[in-house]
Chains A and B, each alone.
Chain A
């Protein structure tokens, strides 16, 4: 299936979770927030919500800013 991750289409196996995507990229899940199709996904649900084909996912974190 295809999901759009931070604006880029990626191929993911069906059943993939946000936690899977983060683990594949060695990103600590507690350092990010996620939005799926415009809705915030609580960190506690990162490993339980299975993504669907066509999902739009935004993964964000704090960066330096003024």
Chain B
């Protein structure tokens, strides 16, 4: 089988499962999750150092080969996202950035207009920009024009584990947008990740569903296999669906009546 490599920002990525580092009961699970999932891209957030408590550092748990994808969570405007992105790059871990601009606290839905503004500024500054967006064709087009390296439409609101609620809209993005489509947020089960990949998504990003599983490492393995299965099925080209039965066995050569 020929190699199937996803290319984003000049980097070849073999695993189409991206993971996150949020919500782990114990960050020391992260290396096991990376290994079991096969993931090569992992998100982190940027926050004020708690100056009075400990020196715990999530970076100590992220294997060195991983592509770090810092997010701009906490940003409510394009300017705030740009500020966070520049600080994240100053950490010296590369120039990938997941743009997240959110001012709605109930559903955590992304603001497409502010996201596009931030994407345009950061892409011009040489960032590899992966914006988190609603599964909306016009938003995705404006981000493609703004220089995004990929777009990351949500399947369902962040952290809900509700699955591919936006399936039909994601299908349109896959068809119409000439950038990698990474389904981000809402995927709760491996079967849903598999479905996204079967539909032709280029990758999925899964954090909550792995981190909040009873056994995150086992769940990471399950997601890894589901994503590979879905991708293989997409490449294999599923057969047509039909309304009426179509026998799988020959309809000739039956036994004669006794």
Contacts and interface: CB of A to CB of B under 8 A. Distances in A.
A64 B24 contact: yes
A63 B59 CA distance: 8
A42 B91 CA distance: 9
B51 A65 contact: no
Contacts of A61: 46-47, 49, 57, 59, 91
B59 A62 contact: yes
Interface in A13-64: 25-28, 31-33, 35, 40, 42-43, 58-64
Contacts of A32: 49
Contacts of A58: 48
Interface residues of A, number: 23
Interface of B: 20-24, 27, 43-49, 51, 55, 57-59, 68, 70-71, 73, 86-88, 90-93, 158-159, 185, 205, 207-208
Given A62-B88, A63-B58, 20 more contacts: A27-B55, A28-B55, A28-B57, A31-B55, A31-B59, A32-B49, A33-B88, A40-B86, A40-B90, A42-B90, A60-B48, A61-B47, A62-B70, A62-B91, A63-B46, A64-B27, A64-B45, A66-B21, A66-B45, A66-B205
